[in-house]
Amino acid sequence: MTEINLPEIQTRFTRMMGCKYPIIAAPMFLVSNVALVAASSNAGGLGATPSLNWRTTEQFDAALTEIEQATSGAYGINLIVNKSNLRLDEDLAVIVKHKVPLVITSLGNPQSVIDAVHTYGGKVFCDVVDLKYALKVQEQGADGVIAVSAGAGGHAGPVSPLVLLPYLRDKLKIPIVAAGGIATGRQVLAALVLGADAVQIGTRFIATTEAAAGDDYKQAILSSEPSDIVMTSRISGTPAAVINTPYIQKVGLDLSPLEKFLRHHPLTSRLAKLARYTLGTKSLEGAAQKTTWKTVWSAGQGVGLIHDIQPAASVLHTLVKEYWEARSAV
């Protein structure tokens, strides 16, 4: 069985999005780019990227044109939908203009995005970490959810995927995408068995030739173990999974008592949250593509299963090959 002739993996997700394999190359801040999105979609999966990876809405608009020229496959855009994203309305208008096939929402109320994307027949999947929010977005009209579990990079959820996936599957009518620690085809099979309709994989796609990550970042993915991943609130104010670099050890994992007070006081809450988000974003920007002593590298526990840097298409086809090998061995 060659990579070219790998059988499709059909699920509710692949039928909905028109792709061969139920694998999303996760939208990663500063790491996902046009090349990674296009390569993942061209290989039969679905590449995605945050709108905020471009400094202006005009640059984001131009990037969507580049993606559409580089692939005929479905692709996705991630939108932060809380008040920290001052470009939400402008970026959403660009998404509607380009009729982006899939929009993934994070950190807020997705109703305006769902309404806008449905005007042209696009699909909206919402990040969730628990049943309560999953039921809410289903009621709002979301087409699916990204079940972010323990082990994920970035804003990881607290619940094991062994519990979260079947728990959501028992309660929801819409498709579920598993996210958190997945880096092999065996895990893709396990996620589908547990009730997922697709998987979203981030950390494995950092270690690709297309990813807009510096060599130090990629090498850190290869050399890290699951125990090297820690949760810190000092990036966005919400706990996020990162590699435990000397800088992270120096600044600590929690917010200071003063910042906690300011975040919870009615008069200062919004400003304090925006300040932390801005500072954290600057730290990520500084570390993603160049060497800096302020090293903040987002990653999930799947680092222990990643041993090489490959083109994104090779990564995706390896995942599919491993999936079929694991399925035939059961």
112: tokens are: 């305006």
Tell the residue number behind the tokens 């959810």, with chain if given.
145
- Determine phi and psi for 79, rounding to 5 degrees: -120, 130
Q: How confident is the model over 90-128, as pLDDT tens digits?
A: 999 999 999 999 999 998 899 999 999 999 999 999 999
Amino acid at 233: S
pLDDT (0 to 100) of residue 292: 47
Break the chain into its structural domains and give their ranges: 12-212+308-329, 215-288
Q: How confident is the model over 201-243, as pLDDT tens digits?
A: 999 999 999 999 989 999 999 999 999 998 886 565 567 888 8
Q: Can you give the pTM of this predicted structure?
A: 0.86
Q: Which fold has domain 12-212+308-329?
A: TIM Barrel (3.20.20)
Residue 157 CA to its chain's centroid (Å): 12
Kindly tell me the sign of the dihedral angle through the C-alpha atoms of 219, 222, 228, 233. Answer: positive
204: tokens are: 């494995």
- Determine phi and psi for 31, rounding to 5 degrees: -95, -45
For residues 52 and 26, what is the distance between their CA atoms, to the nearest angstrom? Answer: 14
* Burial track 163-191 (b if 16+ CB lie within 10 A, e otherwise): ebbebbeeebebbbbbbbbbbbbbbbbbb
Range from 15-24, 94-103, 119-128, 259-268 carrying the lowest mean pLDDT: 259-268
